[in-house]
Amino acid sequence: MVVNNTITEFRLESNHFDQFDNDMVYLTQWLRRQPVRVFECKMACWDLVDINVKQEFYEAMFNCPTLDRLVILWHDFADIDFTRLKFAMKSLEMKNCKWSSRQVKSLASRLPSSNITQFELDGCDFGDDYGFNGLECLVQILPQTSIQWLKLTELSICNSPKWCGWAQLFEKCSLQTLVLGSGDLPSSFVQSLAAAIENNQTICVLELEHVAIANDDLHVLIQSMTASSRRVLTKRFVLTSQQQEMNPSLVESLTKLATQNRGQFVYRTK
């Protein structure tokens, strides 16, 4: 694979097998020598890999100049130095990874100089404070980045002033699409998010994925998304659920509210 210059897209799944230094060396060489466009890497067993070999692999992967899309799952970012990563790709998806808020902050500090326009962070194990400090830093730095599409799911949002303050940070971001997912969205958080969005002039699409949310709060979010003061081309609110289908009369009511305000409400299950 290392010498084959025809492989530009590669998907690797080895989450049930131990990784060894030689495995990482071969992958590192491939990432450095070939015009890689898409790389999906699912790994979980890193215990036998030398930390220096692991760091070299991450540098080759994140700094690959030809990479358009990178998807990584089940990675453990312990002891990884993010200051040496350039984030050359346009699309980055990080799912079910293990790291600390300190490491998320380090990652966030690299985003202003990155090429990333689409960023997804799902179901990660932060281990300390549910990742709040790292997530706070990430959203604070968004206005300095080129990120237009952001997905943050499997969050642990709760009814607290700090999460309400976090929601208010989206007022100043330059996103076009925001996707949020949490087991519960308290009304206090929704009120803060709604106020932020109403004052934001770039967010065209807001999607809530697999959340428990009050019906009244859905009305509040639609009203904020479709407010006449928002000078955006599209005003779309999307609700995605894995649970039983929403009452048809409620869907009709929400759809009508959005349409009246020249917006769109979309409900879907998956």
Q: Is residue 160 part of a domain?
A: yes
Report how far residue 160's alpha carbon sits from residue 114's, in angstroms, rounded to the nearest whole number.
32
Please say if the pLDDT value at position 48 is more than 80: no
3-state DSSP of 81-113: CHHHCCCCCCEEEEECCECCHHHHHHHHHHHHH
Q: Is 216 a domain residue?
A: yes
The pTM of the full predicted model, rounded to 2 decimals, is 0.93
Looking at the domain assignment, is residue 27 inside a domain? no
Closest CA to 119 of 103, 108, 134: 108
In a domain, 227, yes or no: yes
CA distance 209 to 270: 10
Contact 173, 145 (CB under 8 A): no
What pLDDT is stored for residue 26 in this prediction? 87
Specify if 49 maps to a domain.
Answer: no
Q: Is residue 251 part of a domain?
A: yes
Question: In the 8-state DSSP scheme, what is residue 247?
Answer: P
Asked whether residue 18 is domain-assigned, the answer is no
Total of domains in the chain: 1
What are the pLDDT digits (tens) for 87-110? 999 999 999 888 888 888 999 999
Q: Note whether residue 21 is domain-resident.
A: no
Q: State the CATH number of the domain containing residue 82.
A: 3.80.10.10
- Asked whether the beta carbons of 230 and 201 are under 8 A apart, the reply is yes
What would the pLDDT profile of 118-138 be if each residue is shown by its tens digit? 999 997 656 556 678 889 999
The strand pairing partners of 39, in sequence order, are: 10, 70
- The whole domain housing 140 covers 77-269
